[in-house]
Structure 1
Amino acid sequence: MLLRDEFEFIKSISPTKTNRTDLVQGIGDDAALVRGSSELEDIICMDTMAEGVHFKKETMSPYHTGYKALASNISDIAAMGGDPSFYLVSVAIPKEGWTEEELSELYRGMAELSESYKMDLIGGDTVSTSGGLVVTVTVMGKVKRGRHLLRENARDGDVVFVTGPLGGSAAGLQLLLEKEIGYPFNPEEKKLVDAHQMPQPRVDAGRILAKTNARVALNDISDGIASEANEIAEASELTIELEYENIPKYDGHASFSVEEQKSHVLYGGEDYELVGTISADKWDDLVEAFKEQELAVYRVGNATRGKPGVILKHGNQTGMLGKTGFNHFSK
């Protein structure tokens, strides 16, 4: 039988027991956690990008492909409240279609992003393939012991927040598909294109959240807020209510139709902002902590008792928001 659902398949292969006492969190969150020293926990995550599925040369240069392959992993570290430190890269290279210069650009994209976080490349592998280019990146990081941020931490009455505007990556991809790399986009359109090609992992925000000493649930928005909010609701066994009007958006989005905007914001994914919850009595303190670092955080809803799921309120309309973010095996 062919795979139909990526997330159900992951659940089916997840171990029912663990063998090591130093494993804090295994499969089921943004990254794995392993108890390190007496003060720190190790975070390990891995993502794969495949040509034709995650990127095409028509919309992503080799530099941008490398940059984004590393960025998606750094975002998982941020979602655990950690700081990235090392990374490994494995590349399956087609026998035709990719030059040595292009592959060098792929690694340059990763190298320049890694400099922003003082990370080191410590290994990897290269093999040939009969298909398209495949890039697999593993990132390791650290978080203060006991301060890791999990999806299961949400409680009734919590404030739901995001760390920045959503839908930019999907809108930027649409622009690139309609035009091409090198097209003279206007400044607002360029912000959307940059959001797709060079997303900024929110390590700064994750660091603030880990230092609050508050109970925080957190997830990074890789598959769309509809999917990520549902993951928090499922892990925490409650209902999340989102107010569509309160979700921050890019100014350049105004040039798209209302339906396109909504699709980008809710389901587009690859924004790599963070979505999470915090107890209502800690919300004002969190806003101040972000302001002190010249950052913003946006209240977009609430967590309530109820069946695990997400309710979307948009104007006078209210309805269930299905977990319909990007799924590799859905039809």
Structure 2
Amino acid sequence: MLLLKKDLFIGGVVLKEFEFIEKIKPSYYRNSSVIKGIGDDAAVVKPPNGYELVIASDTMVENVHFSFEYMQLRDIGFRVLAANLSDLAAMGATPLYYAVNIAVPSTYSDEQLIDLYLGMDELAKKYKVDLIGGDTVSANELVITISVFGKVLPNKKRLRSYAITNDIVFVTGNLGEAAYGYDLLKSDVLLENHFTDRHKRPTPRIDFTELTDSISRMSLNDVSDGLASELNEIAEASNAVIEINWDDLPVHSKMASIDTEQLKKYVLSSGEDFELVGTCSPKEWDLIKEKTSNKLQVTPIGKVTEESNTPEVFLTIKNSRTILHKSGYSHG
């Protein structure tokens, strides 16, 4: 698959197609199922026998999803790949390959563009994911689209429609940290800490997928648009009623002093935590706790109370039960 369909004018010089390809072409492929990667008109892969292929794609646009006021190119590359891998995790899939399409301003040098790829490669190395191709064109602003490919056994898919009555509702990690980190990054005093890292370099929960591969049935959704939105998507797909409790929602201790209304926005409506929210049977919840113990925080936050043609999500705060409507981060 050719990365550039014609010469690309970057940083005042003509960057030749094959020169650029050689700079980002991996010296070897981590997956033996890659038959032909970068360097031809298209990639050729052979998915592992017995598995289904899972495909996800996401786009991030400069000044919509990221800003150079507080992010470096490596951070941006890391973050956009993390968002895509999170989608695979939510399907119960193991990541295999990714392809990158970039629209880039002519002011960029080839070194800057390679820096963007190095950010992606940091994460790709960790999860043994191969870059197999893409395309790069000129544009007025930086736009990155990544497509990821993963594998899953047919009976191990984690669909939103798999929730049933009496399921435990759970979430990985803590909620609202990425949005809080984003506000810190925008503040007058730039603080680099756990929360800012959670916004710039989120962790896709591939580890949860790996730890829970023995679970027979589980619905999952990644928290990219906010918990309220993700829970409603599960409820709608499963024709179910879900109830969660505010006091059970996991929040970092250093966020406890935040104004209650602002904290609700962070926890319920802010996106890009890239944690996973899902449901499973009470019996298999015990197995999930056992599998993730001392390895990954997973918290029960409610239950599926019934199956209904009027799917809803309810939130209980101090004995007050209200409908939790879809509300969350908009990806533009």
Instruction: Name the TM tier (shorter chain).
Output: 0.7 to 0.9
RMSD: 1.7
Counterpart CA distance in 2 for 1:59 and 1:317 is 40
Name the counterpart of 2:298. 297
Matches within 5 A, 1:85-124: 85-96=96-107, 98-124=108-134
Going from structure 1 to structure 2, the CA distance change for 1:122 and 1:38 (only over 3 Å counts) comes to closer
SS across alignment from 2:78: helix
Query: Shift of the alpha carbon at 1:103?
Result: 2.1
Name the counterpart of 1:149. 158
- Aligned pair count reads 285
Sequence identity percentage = 43
Counterpart CA distance in 2 for 1:196 and 1:272 is 10
Name the counterpart of 1:135. 144
Establish whether residue 309 from structure 1 lines up as the match of residue 312 from structure 2: yes
Going from structure 1 to structure 2, the CA distance change for 1:184 and 1:283 (only over 3 Å counts) comes to closer
Query: Shift of the alpha carbon at 1:116?
Result: 0.3
Please tell me the residue identity of whatever aligns with 2:301. V
Counterpart CA distance in 2 for 1:112 and 1:179 is 30
1:45 pairs with 56, 75, 94, which one? 56
SS across alignment from 2:166: coil
Indicate conservation of the 8 Å contact 1:38/1:145, yes or no.
Answer: no
SS across alignment from 2:235: helix
Please tell me the residue identity of whatever aligns with 2:246. Y
Name the counterpart of 1:318. 321
Q: Which moved more, 1:248-257 or 1:265-274?
A: 248-257
2:81 pairs with 67, 70, 74, which one? 70
Establish whether residue 165 from structure 1 lines up as the match of residue 168 from structure 2: no
Establish whether residue 196 from structure 1 lines up as the match of residue 199 from structure 2: yes
Matches within 5 A, 1:226-241: 226-241=228-243
SS across alignment from 2:157: coil
SS across alignment from 2:98: strand
Matches within 5 A, 1:247-326: 247-291=249-293, 294-305=295-306, 306=308, 307-326=310-329
Counterpart CA distance in 1 for 2:185 and 2:238 is 38
Query: Shift of the alpha carbon at 1:242?
Result: 1.2
Query: Shift of the alpha carbon at 1:255?
Result: 4.3
Structure 1: any 5+ residue segments left out of the alignment?
A: 1-34
Query: Shift of the alpha carbon at 1:325?
Result: 1.4
Q: Which runs of 4 or more aligned residues in structure 1 lie more than 6 Å from their structure 2 counterparts after TM superposition?
A: none
Counterpart CA distance in 1 for 2:115 and 2:164 is 45
Query: Shift of the alpha carbon at 1:316?
Result: 2.7
Please tell me the residue identity of whatever aligns with 1:229. L
Indicate conservation of the 8 Å contact 2:52/2:153, yes or no.
Answer: yes
Please tell me the residue identity of whatever aligns with 1:197. K
TM-score for both structures, normalised by structure 1: 0.82
Please tell me the residue identity of whatever aligns with 2:100. V
Superposed CA deviations along residues 252-288 of structure 1, whole A, max 9, x for unmatched, are 2134322211101111111111100001222212211
1:209 pairs with 212, 221, 236, which one? 212
Indicate conservation of the 8 Å contact 2:65/2:331, yes or no.
Answer: no
Query: Shift of the alpha carbon at 1:88?
Result: 0.6
Name the counterpart of 1:176. 185
Please tell me the residue identity of whatever aligns with 1:325. G
Indicate conservation of the 8 Å contact 1:287/1:296, yes or no.
Answer: no
1:327 pairs with 316, 327, 330, which one? 330
SS across alignment from 1:210: coil
Query: Shift of the alpha carbon at 1:207?
Result: 2.3
Query: Shift of the alpha carbon at 1:51?
Result: 0.7
Indicate conservation of the 8 Å contact 2:97/2:150, yes or no.
Answer: yes
Name the counterpart of 1:19. none
SS across alignment from 1:325: coil
Indicate conservation of the 8 Å contact 2:185/2:191, yes or no.
Answer: no
Going from structure 1 to structure 2, the CA distance change for 1:301 and 1:170 (only over 3 Å counts) comes to same
Larger Rg: 2
Counterpart CA distance in 2 for 1:254 and 1:309 is 28
TM-score for both structures, normalised by structure 2: 0.82
Counterpart CA distance in 1 for 2:188 and 2:117 is 26
Superposed CA deviations along residues 204-261 of structure 1, whole A, max 9, x for unmatched, are 1122333222x21111111111110000000000111111111111122134322211
Matches within 5 A, 1:212-223: 212-213=215-216, 215-223=217-225
Indicate conservation of the 8 Å contact 1:209/1:216, yes or no.
Answer: no
